[in-house]
Chains A and B, each alone.
Chain A
């Protein structure tokens, strides 16, 4: 029962079409769940088509890998906390890149060792690209995972001459790549190339700080697609080429959005080691800016008793304190008191694109209350209370009006234009960028110090009892 190759190729085409349709349905939260299922059906078709390929003669090893990977993937997907979603995506990026690189490696080895032949044409170049990109994606993602999980320091790791060292290793990698392309039967050079790619993935990500992770994850997302693309060229398989290009394009778009939202170039994010020397920057900014006014949740409840509107600005601090459910309860309480509540979402709030939206959706905040920066900024001047919760740099007015500031030019949420600003913060420590925030010293700003979750719960009680 040999299935003709043309049928298998048509099945791959169907899979690619379903991927595109599925991604298109992600344009609205209503159709998005169907879009995901559509893409999954496409994947099922591609897998079945491959299993009936006449080159597949033995199923036991496939089953072994599929059972282990499938079980681990299912457990991870069903158990991961929404606050840990950046780590999950980092892991998915890394494994995707690694799978593509391994496939390219297996293809080279079976050609050279098993068939005693040599790959020709564009194939050696594609193998090299796949291993190189896939290797960097794997270890780079694992370092990103470790930083996000905080099993290693989230601060940039730098040392003198770092960029020279990386450049030399990069050059070494390119010469190994050239050697493999010129003589693909030289497997020693191939293994060395794989090793150097893995090393470079580590070295490139360690100097990047925790708050820059949205960019890193987006970029690695794009790499995992590009690795699949290269593997598509190795196998002459259009399904891999198309899918890889879709994912590559997605990662590139997200990377650009993240960089724009920080007003920094990709090169600056990758090589700038932003936040590496907070002491120096903090010392410069620590000059007297006035006094900070510390208030209690009860004081805030008095203000709320006269308020009609409130915009909540969540940041990474909300995720760290796991405060999203408490925030939703506070929003419910405020709405019962007749206060209109909305949420302002900065593109780089949190540790990955869309992080805050997922957390608040998990806490049952309706998505029509999650408003993008450009849409909500005009509303701040007419808003009675802006409640800043674990966000800092994305609400720093220096970005708007202080030309010397490291974050000058970065688009921010204009919370300082609201009638009253409440800032819930653990302490007066400066934000990730190591710069002081003049917002905290403004006359209309009330600081409430403490753990975000506890303060939000106390605030809710005070408002209810007022």
Chain B
């Protein structure tokens, strides 16, 4: 990676942090557990790198690491989104009927 590209990525990083702080600060404590499991699912984005590692033209060691990474990241993505959906489905308002 060239220096200028590194600075560009750093710029994205810092701006994303600011967006993250703004957005997350508005999540009520009521939903902090689903926030954690849901954000875990999002951090499963490393599945992108795992796919590139497991499916690229690499030697055995890199492929093995890639397959394990794919398994872990897929667990995060599938497990994270599903368990968050399950939890959020339980939050109901008072039945006013």
Contact = CB atoms under 8 A, between A and B. Distances in A.
Interface residues of B, number: 84
Contacts of A24: 23, 26
Contacts of A122: 1, 3, 6
B29 A257 contact: yes
Contact of B56 (A57, A72, A121, A361): A57
A99 B78 contact: no
B74 A70 contact: yes
A50 B56 CA distance: 11
Contacts of A32: 31, 34, 88, 91
Interface extent on A, as a size class? Answer: 35 or more
Given A66-B70, A122-B1, A241-B12, A109 B62 contact: yes
Contacts of A114: 57-59, 62
B55 A62 contact: yes
B71 A69 contact: yes
Contact of A56 (B9, B27, B56): B56
A344 to B, nearest CB: 12
Contact of B57 (A12, A57, A102, A253): A57
A37 B41 CA distance: 11
Interface string A330-352: 00000000000000010100001
A68 B88 CA distance: 26
Main secondary structure of the interface of B (DSSP, over half): helix
B30 to A, nearest CB: 5
Given A221-B39, A249-B20, A237 B49 contact: yes
Nearest to A107: B53
B42 A109 contact: no
B16 to A, nearest CB: 4
B75 A69 contact: yes
Interface in B50-76: 50-59, 61-63, 65-76
Contact of B69 (A77, A88, A103): A103
Contacts of B66: 61, 65, 102-103, 106
A225 B43 contact: yes
A53 interface: yes
Given A50-B52, A57-B57, A257-B29, A89 B36 contact: yes
A250 B24 contact: yes
Given A36-B84, A249-B17, A243 B62 contact: no
Contact of A245 (B13, B57, B58, B78): B13
B69 A99 contact: yes
B43 to A, nearest CB: 4
Interface in B78-92: 78-92
A26 B34 contact: yes
A381 to B, nearest CB: 23
Nearest to A356: B33
A446 to B, nearest CB: 29
Contacts of B54: 61-62, 65
Contacts of B79: 72-74, 76-77, 88, 92
A368 B39 contact: no
B91 A361 contact: yes
A107 B54 CA distance: 10
Instruction: Give the 9 A-B residue pairs with the shortest CB-CB distance, closest first.
Output: A65-B70, A249-B20, A73-B79, A354-B32, A69-B74, A69-B71, A245-B16, A353-B32, A103-B49
Given A37-B85, A114-B62, A353-B33, 4 more contacts: A64-B67, A102-B65, A238-B9, A240-B45
